[in-house]
Amino acid sequence: MRKACKLALKQQKFGCRFLHQKEVRLLGRLVMHSEQTFRNLVGLFHLKWGRYSPKESERFKYVISQLTNIQCRQQLYYWKLSVEVIDMCDFAVGLSRQLNGSIIPSERPNHMMLEMWNPLGIVGVITAFNFPCAVLGWNACIALVCGNCVVWKGAPTTPLVTIAMTKIVASVLEKNNLPGSIFTAFCGGAEIGEAIAKDTRIPLVSFTGSSKVGLAVQQTVNQRFGKCLLELSGNNAIIVMDDADIKLAVRSVLFAAVGTAGQRCTTCRRLLVHETVYEKVLEPLVDVYKQVKIGDPLEKGTLLGPLHTRTSRENFEKGIQNIKSQGGKILTGGSVIESEGYFVHPTIVEISPKAEVVKEELFAPVLYIMKFKTFEEAVEINNSVPQGLSSSIFTRNPQVLFKWIGAQGSDCGIVNVNIPTNGAEIGGAFGGEKGTGGGREAGSDSWKQYMRRSTCTINYGNELPLAQGINFG
């Protein structure tokens, strides 16, 4: 794989570097070029970028989707997610014309107040393996239309995707006579991420990954008074109330828990079922789990591909051991498949919500199922874990529905009703609370994190009245 990456890099003339550990010092030089580019072009290039990138990115859709499927081992029906960056470019085009601030009435005569939003400078983006293009798009497209330069470190296990995406961006910049240092990418290990986190010339670092690593990134960035945008671990629950549409709920749980082999931050990991419909949910769910087609993710009809790496499969095996040691009962699955590739059986576990293993994110297709008696108990279980990314409830009761999305309900950043925990749309802000990091990416007003706000007061008169009626001399 490394040879293939080096060959690809030699054949292309664009801003992607494959750095050894001893070569990390080169990152500083490239960041310096990005900083100089920002100072020379600040505010001048963002509309051009937005206007051209959707069309250019479309040309590479097939290549990007295939590389993502091969390197991430995702099923073919996820190819649209792998090229979600195209949709983000479209979204960013319109957004670039709406980066407006407020006009605030002034209490002083012949004065006005307004907000100005200006670019930060350089935005560092560190992405994970599972959605190497989509997460880049959520960050880079918004950062660029806000007038920033971007320094991107892709996952070390998906270098070909990093190279291909950088080529697409470079072609857009080149056709618009813009310097390549507007967008710089790196292939490498943790040392690259550490260098980005420490670099004082990068005022914002967006990190996607585990809560453990994210906390370390945040601490490093905070030490230099930089900003962090964190999208970390999820431990997402689906609640099935006694009045729920059972068929709809079972279909949603299957997609949310088994899709992408449980390797997405919004995967459903906990299923909370009202005690009166527990068997009605469990029986059909176990049946469909046993029918899931496991195999080559590039083959049509495959619903479950392999885990990403050998380490991922080893973590699955360790997780199953911990589950059993804490009283968990394996209802289906719970074992690896002895074959070429890192395949495992999709697993359903009956376990107490108080078990310590339930509070951890096991990045694999393992679903914990548990009973509850009341809505209040379900909410308590949902909110009892350290993470706070996504959640969903299945109910037809408006009273329960509005409690769920309100202050008495879920404490997550994504709170759904009658749909799975995954499959977020780009128009809304994506992110979570607590151990998920608190950051927001993609839509709504997430763009504000990629800019700095200035409150401006303008005196257009000849007097100097002071605020709050103060009289000074």
In angstroms, the Cα distances linking 337 to 334, 366, 388 are 10, 15, 32
Q: Is residue 84 annotated as a catalytic residue, yes or no?
A: no
Among residues 231, 317, 350, 380, which one is catalytic?
231
Select from 144, 209, 106 the least CA-distant residue to 461. 106
Residue 407 exposure: Cα atoms within 13 Å on the Cβ side:
0
Residue 340, judged by CB atoms within 10 A of its CB (0-12, 13-18, 19+), counts as exposed
> Do the Cβ atoms of 368 and 346 come closer than 8 Å?
no
Q: Would you name the residues annotated as active-site residues?
A: 231
